[in-house]
Structures are given as structure tokens and as C-alpha cells.
Structure 1
Amino acid sequence: MRKPVIAGNWKMYKTLEESLSFLESCIPSCREY
């Protein structure tokens, strides 16, 4: 079975701090994968 891939291009619209905060909020939802 293939593993799902989550990709995006938010880097152009967020600062480094905003991007890190966004990823930290997404990680708990992705842990099962």
C-alpha cells in the first residue's frame, strides 16, 4: 500500500515562524501515517 504524501506551497506566503507554527499544528493529525 502506498503512503499518502502531503505537499503544499505555503512557503511563499508565510514567514519562517508562521510556517513552523503551521507544521507543528499539522503534525498531530499526520502521526497515524
Structure 2
Amino acid sequence: MLNHFSIMARFHIHSGYYLVILYSFRNLCGD
């Protein structure tokens, strides 16, 4: 259970990080 939570938390962190990069990149290109 704890291990599953750790995997899920890590996945959410990576997803959020990827979304932030994608959003920043779009802002740079679109301005």
C-alpha cells in the first residue's frame, strides 16, 4: 500500500513537472 502510494506520488510529481515545462515552452513560442 505504502509502495503504491509512493509510485502514485512520484507519477503525479513527474506529470506536474512535465506539464509546467510544456506550458512554459508554449508561452515562450506563443508569447
Q: TM-score range by the shorter chain?
A: 0.3 to 0.5
If asked which structure has higher relative contact order (CA below 8 Å, sep 6+), I would say 1
Structure number with greater Rg is: 2
TM value normalised by structure 2: 0.44
Relative to its length, the structure with more helix (as a share) is: 2
TM value normalised by structure 1: 0.42
